[in-house]
Structure formats: structure tokens, C-alpha cells
Amino acid sequence: MHLSKHIIISFFCILMVTGFTACNDELFTSNPDKTLAFSTDTLTFDTVFTTIGSTTEKFLIYNHHNRALNISSIRLAGGASSVFRLNVDGSRNANNSFSNIEISAHDSLYVFVEVTIDPRNSDSPVLVQDSVIFTTNGNKQQVKLEAYGQDMVLFKNKLILNDSVLSASKPYLIQGYLAIDSAKTLTIPAGCKLYFHNNANLLVYGNLNVNGSFEKPVEMRGDRLDKVKFMNPVLYNYVAGQWGGVYLLWNKGQHTLQHLNITSGYVGLYVPNTDIDELPELNLSYCRLHNFVYYGIVAQNCNLYVDNTEISNTGSATVYLSGGQHHFTHTTIANFYDSNPFEPSSRDKNPAVFIMNLYKTAPMSTTFNNCVIAGGIENELSIASRNLPEYHGAYANTYIRRSEKYDLSQFTDVRWSAKTDTVFKHPSYNYKENKYFNFTPDSVSPLRGLANKTIATQFPLDLNGNNRLADNAPDAGAYEWIPAK
């Protein structure tokens, strides 16, 4: 019995020592030399549209010491009137001020930050700043906050009833749709930027004129200017499906698009005309249509003229043609959609160029001169005709990725691809090395010197503004190979 009593007393002593040690480990140090560490000294937001709240950014607070710290104060220098808002470890308040925040030894906690900027009455982005002030053991530390606020013109389910010209001074933010009434013309000047919210579309029931330039192209893209959080640092504009697309819906439409970049929607340009007697006309020159969940161009019963243009990376057919006259010159059609690991879907089995010559379409012919049809599957050109020998097509001085050659008289001076061909500089997206898709010819590309020089003289500048006649051997496609300097 006496032994048992000693055992019990010893047990309680061990518990007391253990408890004291545990409590001692969690004692807050008041040593002024013990300060916080942060994952960044400056938290920078991507450009934020005024009146539209930002996405949430975050940073981490670290306690690298062997004792817990009591952060007596975390606050915004701008207080309750700041354009920024704080959330500290899941808590928020209207004053953007927090007291007595405990952080254990060798632990961390998140600070989340949002920003909403009032209109700045400026055409250019305006920098706004604040800072998060931390007080610990009498020490003051800070993390700076920076964001650029951009004024914009908001169109929400907007129908334009008259001939109209947009302005390039401020960007446009489209929610729902922007529509042009029947038989009316919308003109978009050089340098104009149109940002489309999720599922928003441009609906053209009349005519569309885009007048971009080399120096000031017109941009149509999604409105997410930030990065994908779980794929940092991947920009949302590198991920397809950020908005809808451009729909050209009038059977008498006359559309001229110059120096236009359309990126990362569900479709690029969609012409769904079912009238085989009235065909709209679509002219593209120096355009870039890139990165879509479904199609780059769908031209159904439409006369289509394309030069010096890149159409690339789609989850289905990059160019779908059915009915009408279609003429492509110095155009690069490339589908390496599956080479971007961040796309929301996989590519289907449709080729880059899909030609459907059906009974219920207008008389049809296609012409490809000095072009490229390439991609990641064996056959990137498919001609589905009711009578292939009667198919009206002409392919000259063009590179085509197709393992099974078409034995037709319409194909002259065509280079059929080999699996070992190195065609482009970067036909994939290596985000770790910051190398995005680049469809200019490689130095050993079969595109080099393939173009017909007589035709090339009509288009002396490539899509990058380089002289394709400088070496007297113009390349096929929208881009000329330029030696490294």
C-alpha cells in the first residue's frame, strides 16, 4: 500500500512537470527582438475595374520562434475608409482592425485582402496604395498593398440601335451581351479593348467593322485579369472558356476585321447562316483567334476571306467550313489545344480544318495559298464531301498535317507532314519556363521558303509586321522566320 502511494505521487508529479512544460512552450514571448515574418513585403493586385470588386489575394504571417506571439494589433493604415478590406484568419470587420491575435510557435496564419476602387475619372489605370500595420511586442511592421484601378464603360445586356462607333479611351466591360441591331453597323477603332464577363457574347445582327492596327490592335477577351489561384502563376486569359464568343447573325452582313485579337472564349467567330441564297461576307486580315473550348471559326453559308491570320488551339475543329467561298492566304491554322495542361476540357477527334460539302449548303469552294494546317493529331484536314472528285478546292504552297494524303489535282506544291517535322518554335505551353505557344516557324521548319513568292508580294508584312520578302524566300503561314539577333 505504501509503494502504491509513492507511485501515485510520482505519477502526479510527472503530470505536473509535463503540464508545466507544455504551458511553458505556449508562453507568449515579450522580447522585442521576436518579430513576425511575411510571405511577401508587397501584395500586388492585377488591374481592377473600378466599382467591380476584385478577387481575393492573400499573404501569410509566420512565427519562426520557439514561443508564441501575441499580435496586439493588425489594421489597415487607411482604416474603415480604405479601398482594401481585410480578413484575418477567417475573421473580418468593418473597421479593418483586429486585436490580440495569437500565433503559436513555428505556426502561420493567412491574411486575405480584397479591393474595390471607385471611378478615378481617368482613361489610364491609377495606382492606389495602402498597408497592413502589425504591432507585436512594441514593434511595428507592415505589408504594402498595391492595386491599379481602371475606369471602364459597362454594357449590361446592351442593344445598340443605330450605327455606332465605340471609343478607345476606356475599355468596355460586357455583362450578358452586347448586341448590334439588324442592318446597323458597329465600328470598333484601333486600340479598343472589350472585356467579356463569364458567358457574355457579342451578338451582331448587322455589320461589324474592326479597325485595329499593328501598334494598336483591338482586343476581345475575358474580364478575369488575375491568375488562377490553384495554378499560380497561370493567367486566366491562358485558360479557354472565360466568356462566350462573337456571333455574326445577319445573312446579309458585311464584316471587316483588321488587327483583331480574340482569345480564350467558348468560340471565336461563329456564322450560323442557314440561308443558301443570301450569304454574309467576312474578311479577316492580321487577326489572331486563339484558345477556345470549341471552335475558332465556324463559317456556314458564308463567303470568307482570311489573310495573315493565326487561328489556333480549340477543343474541336479550329476552322469549320460548310457552304460558300472560302479563301485563305498566309494563314496559320494550328491546333495544339491539349498541349496546354490548364484547359478545362480535352480536345475531341475533329481535325483543325473540317470541310463539310453538304446538299443543303450553298455552292462551295475552298482555296488555301501559302498556308499552314497543323496540330497534334495525325489528320488535321478532313474533306467530307458528298462526291469527293467533284469537290472544288485549291491548295498550293501549303503545309498540311495529314498522314493519308489526298490524291487530288487540287493539291499542288503541298508539303504533307512527317511526324519528325519541327514546324513551330513552341507548339506547347511550358509555364515553368514561361514559354507560351509560339507559332512562328522554327529555324529548321518545313514552312521556310515554301510560300509562292508572287502571292507573298501581295502580303509583304507578316502578322508580326516583319518583311517576309527580306530573304527572297517567303515562308508559308502567317509568320516569317526571323534569325535571332
**Which tens digit of pLDDT belongs to each residue from 288-343?**
999 999 999 999 999 999 999 999 999 999 999 999 999 999 999 999 999 999 99
Is 107 part of a structural domain of the chain?
yes
Q: What pLDDT, in 10s, does the model give residues 162-203?
A: 999 999 999 999 999 999 999 999 999 999 999 999 999 999
Shared-domain flag, residues 307 and 271? yes
| Alpha carbon 363 to chain centroid, angstroms | 37
Is 469 part of a structural domain of the chain?
no
Is 10 part of a structural domain of the chain?
no
Is 13 part of a structural domain of the chain?
no
pLDDT number for residue 325: 95
Q: What pLDDT, in 10s, does the model give residues 10-57?
A: 444 444 444 444 444 458 898 989 999 999 999 998 889 988 887 789
Indicate the helix (H) or strand (E) that contains 447.
none
Total structural domains in the chain? 2
Is 74 part of a structural domain of the chain?
yes
Shared-domain flag, residues 253 and 171? yes
Shared-domain flag, residues 192 and 305? yes
Averaged pLDDT score across all residues of the chain: 91
Total residue count of the chain as it appears in this document? 485
pLDDT number for residue 132: 98
Confidence at 434, pLDDT banded by 50, 70, 90: confident
Shared-domain flag, residues 144 and 194? no
pLDDT of 8 above 50: no
pLDDT of 264 above 70: yes
Closest Cα to residue 399, out of 357, 354, 449? 449
Shared-domain flag, residues 425 and 290? yes
DSSP calls for 162-207: S-EE--SSS-EEEEEEEEE-TT-EEEEETT-EEEE-TT-EEEESSE
Shared-domain flag, residues 360 and 281? yes
Are the beta carbons of 248 and 271 closer than 8 angstroms?
yes
Is 30 part of a structural domain of the chain?
no
Which of 125, 149, 173 is the last residue before a domain boundary? 149
pLDDT of 272 above 60: yes
Shared-domain flag, residues 401 and 425? yes
pLDDT number for residue 225: 87
Residues contacting 67, CB < 8 A, separation 6+: 25, 26, 27, 28, 29, 34, 105
239-253, 288-302, 418-432: the lowest-pLDDT one: 418-432
Shared-domain flag, residues 87 and 199? no
pLDDT number for residue 407: 74
Distance CA 111, CA 101 (A): 12
Shared-domain flag, residues 145 and 159? no
Percent of the chain clearing pLDDT 90 (strictly above): 77
Is 332 part of a structural domain of the chain?
yes
Is 72 part of a structural domain of the chain?
yes
Shared-domain flag, residues 139 and 157? no
CATH number at residue 114: 2.60.40.10
Shared-domain flag, residues 138 and 175? no
Shared-domain flag, residues 143 and 156? no
Which of 100, 121, 149 is the last residue before a domain boundary? 149
Q: Which domain holds residue 66?
A: 37-149
Which of 96, 120, 149 is the last residue before a domain boundary? 149
Q: What pLDDT, in 10s, does the model give residues 113-142?
A: 999 998 888 888 999 999 999 999 999 999
Distance CA 262, CA 438 (A): 16
Question: Mean pLDDT over residues 279-284, rounded?
Answer: 98
